[in-house]
């Protein structure tokens, strides 16, 4: 089984939580991929991509931190824990840039 971590992207200026994700990659590699995707890929999550592009153009980049680590589990469990953290932040009134899946399997912006 892969080791997975739940990570948080924060705004480097305001320190506001912006995005929760799960990865089995080193988090710095995942951050570089988020930045690359914001500029080079189809933008399935345009809100997150636009935020990252704005930061980079201003000479910044998101801060990444591990919020849950050292657990080994099937793929689905990682996404369950990711959903837990997304819900936790949103229950505290902190809007995130994550996408949500509706009952028809289509993704939409949360909030």
- Can you give the pLDDT of all 111 residues of the chain as single tens digits? 567 899 999 999 999 999 999 999 999 999 999 999 999 876 679 999 999 999 999 999 999 999 998 665 555 567 888 889 999 999 999 999 998 744 444 444 444
pLDDT attached to residue 71: 64
Order of strands across the sheet with 3-10?
A: 17-23, 3-10, 63-72
Give the other-Cβ count within 10 Å of 89's Cβ. 19
């Amino acid at each position: 089984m892969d080791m997975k971590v739940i990570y948080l992207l924060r705004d480097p200026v305001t320190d506001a939580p912006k995005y929760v994700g799960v990865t089995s990659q080193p988090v710095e590699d995942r951050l570089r991929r988020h930045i690359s995707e914001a500029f080079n890929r189809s933008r399935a999550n345009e809100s997150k991509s636009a935020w990252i592009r704005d930061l980079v153009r201003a000479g910044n980049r998101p801060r990444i931190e591990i919020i849950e680590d050292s657990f080994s589990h099937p793929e689905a469990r990682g996404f369950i824990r990711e959903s837990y953290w997304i819900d936790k932040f949103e229950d505290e009134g902190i809007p995130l840039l994550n996408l949500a899946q509706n009952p028809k399997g289509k993704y939409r912006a949360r909030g």
